[in-house]
Amino acid sequence: MEFQEATHDDRGAIREVARTSIEASYALSPRTIETLLETEFGEERLADLIEDESALVARDDEEAVVGVFLGTTEDGVGTVEWIHVATEARGRGVGRELYERGTERLRDRGAETIRAEVLADNAQGRTFFEEFGLDVDDQRDVEIGEETFRAHVYTEEESDDDVSPHTESDPVVEAGETVETPDGETVHLGEEELPGEQGPFYVAYEGKERDEPYSFVCGSCGTLVEAVDALDRVECEECGNLNTPDEWDGSYL
């Protein structure tokens, strides 16, 4: 495996690696994937990053591009924009090598700290950055086409907040308790739990017999969560607690 600066001739291959990686790593609609590719991996965007010497590629023994690192540097902050590895090249440490070489390049260009962003749905992607010593210190909503996704922002610096917004805390409500709905009805919490970033979600039932599921209740703040989204995510709008499916692979392996 060889790691080199990307050239303008690599743009098509970079885009294809990104496509296959995104398709394998996220439960996104084809339309959303196309929008993401157009905005983040379009010809002009890639040309700017390559011209700025902020793009690296990994080539296999046949010199085909199987991995890509894209980064930017501004005001002393080096941002890891994307790391993608082709599915056939995963499990060989390509993503880790790209990160180490890419962030070293960002430091050479004046970065004093490293920043990265990953969609909350990508559990393995989040673990990847944590293994390199980055901590979550913020979260934000990212719009891709007509859809909105929660993203975690990682940096090497410790958060100044007393409690991280993603640190699991003692639950406000627990299994077996009752919670009053906004309509004044009472729901009963079962024993089933869904793990959340700040605390568990409990299945709520309409009756004491707990045979008619009603919704979920956020254990972190006690808020009723009435629905999941198209990606099967359960999210509390009150405190930001989030449960995401873990069956998808990360794009950073």
Residue 3 has what pLDDT?
A: 92
Q: Which candidate, 50, 82, 92, 86, places its Cα nearest to that of 66? A: 86
Q: Give how far Cα 38 sits from Cα of 34, 64, 78, 118, 149, Å.
A: 6, 22, 23, 18, 17
Whole-number Å distance between alpha carbons of 197 and 195: 7
CB atoms within 10 A of CB 88: 11
Quote the domain boundaries for residue 40.
2-155
Q: Can you give the CATH number for the domain in which 89 is found?
A: 3.40.630.30
Does 191 lie in the same domain as 137? no
Higher pLDDT pick, 12 / 92: 12
pLDDT of 208 higher than 80: no
Does 102 lie in the same domain as 207? no
- Tell me which range, 50-59, 98-107, 155-164, is most confidently predicted by mean pLDDT: 98-107
Residue 243 has what pLDDT?
A: 73
What is the total count of domains within the chain? 2
Higher pLDDT pick, 201 / 59: 59
User: Residue 200 phi/psi, 5° resolution?
Assistant: -75, 160
DSSP 167: S
Q: What is the pTM of this model?
A: 0.61
Does 146 lie in the same domain as 201? no
Whole-number Å distance between alpha carbons of 21 and 31: 16
What's the pLDDT band for 16 if we cut at 50, 70, 90? very high
Instruction: State the amino acid at position 166 in one-letter form.
Output: H
Output the six-digit token pair for 167. Answer: 């640190």
pLDDT of 4 higher than 50: yes
pLDDT in tens, 96-139: 899 999 999 999 988 898 988 888 777 777 788 888 888 888 88
Does 123 lie in the same domain as 14? yes
Does 100 lie in the same domain as 13? yes
User: Residue 152 phi/psi, 5° resolution?
Assistant: -100, 135
What's the pLDDT band for 155 if we cut at 50, 70, 90? confident
